[in-house]
Amino acid sequence: MQLTQKQESLISRYLRDLAVQLGDTVPEKTRDRHLRQLQTRIYKELEALPTNAISDEDVVSVLRRAMPQGQASPASPKPALTQPRAINRQSAGVNAAPNRVHAAPPPESTTAPIWLGVCAFNAERFGLSPWMVRLFAVICGLVTGPVAVFFYLAAYAEFYVSSDRKDRPAIAYGQLALRAAAPLAVAIGLRWGAFKLLDLIAYGHQMAFSEALPPLDRQWNWLANNEDTLFFLLWTSVIPLSILSGLPLANAWGHSLKRLTQALVALYFMALCFGIASVLVGLILDRVQPYMQ
């Protein structure tokens, strides 16, 4: 199942608006647990549809079926597609009269976690506030960088295995494998191409001047000296983020992390181009230096 960014955003807004309408009428831990259950049910219903190309109308229909009981269905799907906020307020169980909210959700309805529900799960396990655990996770991420993402993935694996099947969202393993492998494969291809281009430059220099490349100053040949470190930093950042983007993240975060991994690979490509340009500049200066003395 592959959803568009608009469809992911529609689901996320529905869940967020429902959470806002529930407010403090239910305990935070109970609300977060119900959030995961409703998100799981929505994605399972979408996966069960007899079509591979899920339309916006299919998403709206599933969201309507997920409404708390006792609420009238929206009259027409069109406003739902053009004004998702309006649907979400109706889907959240808000009556026409202000301040009347269906505060007691059914067992399988409420809203989604911020990412994967790992922090909420561990907060419930240890009797802490979810926001305390989330703050700790953010601080760890700022201090340790990609290491924290690896630990987060390990925590999600433990959460996924220990959770009831009905509580955990389905993982699209094909999408997960593609998201994890594609950035690394592109980076490996770029690295191979860059060094092949450097070999071509050396061959052209040999053919033109009948001599091997002269030793260049470190400032011009920095790519050959630092490329291993550059590639290591890239894959330790891209691999955990790309794996995370392939998991069933809430609030359309999967698309944002996918764009982030693409941006990191693009920065790596720019660094390779700059390194090759540095070699060319160093060669040109080496050839013209005798004439400048």
| Token code pair at residue 125 | 């396990």
Last residue of a domain, one of 99, 130, 145: 99
Report if residue 108 sits inside a domain: no
Higher pLDDT, 161 or 188: 188
- Please check whether residues 69 and 128 belong to one and the same domain: no
| Mean pLDDT across the chain | 77
- Please check whether residues 282 and 224 belong to one and the same domain: yes
Last residue of a domain, one of 40, 66, 99: 99
User: pLDDT tens-digit profile of 18-73?
Assistant: 777 776 677 766 777 777 778 788 878 887 887 777 888 888 888 887 765 544 33
Burial of 38-57, coded b for 16+ CB within 10 Å and e otherwise, reads: bbbbbbebbeeeeeeebebe
Question: Rounded to two decimals, what is the model's pTM?
Answer: 0.61
Q: What is the pLDDT of residue 238?
A: 92
What is the arithmetic mean of pLDDT over 150-164? 85
Report if residue 107 sits inside a domain: no
How many separate helices (H) and strands (E) can be counted in the chain?
11, 0
- Please check whether residues 166 and 183 belong to one and the same domain: no
What is the arithmetic mean of pLDDT over 165-181? 81
Report if residue 48 sits inside a domain: yes
Last residue of a domain, one of 47, 73, 99: 99
Report if residue 32 sits inside a domain: yes
Q: What is the pLDDT of residue 291?
A: 80
Report if residue 93 sits inside a domain: yes
User: pLDDT tens-digit profile of 99-145?
Assistant: 333 333 333 333 345 678 888 888 888 888 888 888 998 899 889 88
Report if residue 106 sits inside a domain: no
- Please check whether residues 156 and 178 belong to one and the same domain: no
Contact between 111 and 35 (Cβ < 8 Å): yes
Q: What angle do CA 259, 261, 263 make, to 5 degrees?
A: 70
- Please check whether residues 158 and 180 belong to one and the same domain: no
User: What are the angstrom distances between the C-alpha of 114 and each of 118, 119, 164, 180, 267?
Assistant: 9, 9, 20, 21, 28
The domain in which residue 200 lies consists of 173-292
Contact between 241 and 257 (Cβ < 8 Å): yes
- Please check whether residues 163 and 180 belong to one and the same domain: no
- Please check whether residues 95 and 117 belong to one and the same domain: no
Backbone angles phi, psi at 72, to 5 degrees: -75, 145
Residues 64 and 88: their CA atoms lie apart, in Å, by: 9
* Domains in the chain, number: 3
C-alpha radius of gyration, the chain, whole number? 26
Residue closest to 263 by CA, chosen among 232, 242, 236:
242
How many other C-beta atoms are found inside a 10 Å radius of the C-beta of residue 188? 12
Say yes or no to pLDDT of 12 above 70.
yes
Report if residue 105 sits inside a domain: no
Report if residue 161 sits inside a domain: yes
Backbone angles phi, psi at 250, to 5 degrees: -80, 165
- Please check whether residues 123 and 227 belong to one and the same domain: no
Distance, first Cα to last Cα, the chain: 67
Q: What is the pLDDT of residue 20?
A: 73
Residues 23 and 162: their CA atoms lie apart, in Å, by: 28
Q: What is the pLDDT of residue 113?
A: 54
- Please check whether residues 264 and 286 belong to one and the same domain: yes
Residues facing residue 94 across a β-bridge: 101
